[in-house]
Amino acid sequence: MRFGLFGAAQAQRGGPDVDSAAGFKDYMDYVIEAEGLGYDSAFIVEHHFTGFGQVSATLNLLTWIGARTSTLRLGTAVIVLPWHNPVLLAEQAATLDLLSGGRLDFGVGKGYRHNEFVGFGVPMEEAADRFEEAIDVITKAWTSNDRFTFEGRFWRFEDIVVEPPTIQKPHPPFWQGAGHPESILRVARRGHNLLLDQFASTEETIRRFGIYRDAMIANGFGFNPNQVGVARAFFVARDEAEKEAALDRRLAAQRRLHGISQRPDGNNTASIMAFSDTREASEESALYGNPDQICRKIERLQAAGVEYILLNGGGTSRENLRRFAHEVMPHFRATSPRQAAE
């Protein structure tokens, strides 16, 4: 199995005596150590207007991380396409792919937080159409060596050629966040990779995995389990009391995020919202507990075909990172990528 990281840093607001970059620097050191421990990737979120400093300029932070790592895959999970000029984004992402030696995993999504759409002045009802058009533009930008013109509903570009070229051919892999069956089927129609959220129950995650697998095969793309990244929160606990305290912290954080994401009418139908504020889902889906308990949960996913897990630690605990690498990962792969290379 492959194990990567999924999450974000935080930039604290404050006066002249506060180092707002400290959280970003700590996160960079965290993922650099993760590379040495055998983790495969670091996928970083994009969020805005939270008031608690989540990552907003994802590609910028990944560029810094890419400069200080050599094998770690650099993932976005996810860049919300409806808010971005797709040509400018294609150029920025291609630059990261070029400078990192072809390590970019380009994760994209439609977005689900109501407050972010309001902040940008983009109607949430247009998200799906804006998303699909942006993918068309970015794909064309990355695969065309000749100048082209594009006229769509939201964007128009005339006589352009996008520079620089990407190293990965025909382009960096697209990863789409999706959960509703119809959304998963759209991902598979494009042959893109799939990101499954950290909140859905194991049963629901396995169901979504199967929908994607079957659709990829039906569409003639074939299927590789490494095309699905399953996000899971993780915490290697010393005892039940520590586990319960960690679950309480996780649920509080989930409810805070759920609150700022919800529409005023309470009718946010995004799949990620369905389980995000329930303790039951948190306990069932999260990889919290002692190493044996965590292994049993991973084995259930593995038995269904899952081979790639993206771990969200809810912070940058080095102890948690190391304990998982030393006490859980060896049960699922004989050697780390680094050990194999040596």
Q: Tokens 């000029």 appear where?
A: 85
C-alpha distances in angstroms, 241 versus 180, 238, 251, 277? Answer: 35, 8, 15, 21
Environment class of 339 (CB within 10 Å of its CB; exposed 0-12, middle 13-18, buried 19+): exposed
Averages of pLDDT over runs of 10 residues in the chain (342 residues) are: 94 84 96 98 94 90 98 98 98 98 98 93 97 98 97 98 97 96 97 95 96 98 98 95 90 71 66 58 86 97 98 92 98 59 43
The pLDDT of residue 255 is 72
Q: 2-232+308-317+333-341, which class in CATH?
A: alpha beta
The pLDDT of residue 250 is 81
- Letter for the amino acid at 271? S
Which two three-digit tokens encode residue 70? 């050599």
Neighbouring CB atoms inside 10 A of 56's CB total 16
Q: What backbone phi and psi angles, to 5 degrees, belong to 272?
A: -65, -20
Contacts of 291 (CB under 8 A, 6+ apart): 236, 323, 327, 328
pTM over 0.95, yes/no:
no
Count of residues making up the chain? 342
Residues 197 and 183 sit within 8 Å (Cβ to Cβ): no
Which two three-digit tokens encode residue 185? 């089927």
Neighbouring CB atoms inside 10 A of 338's CB total 14
Q: What angle do CA 209, 334, 216 make, to 5 degrees?
A: 20
The pLDDT of residue 96 is 98
The pLDDT of residue 147 is 98
The pLDDT of residue 52 is 78
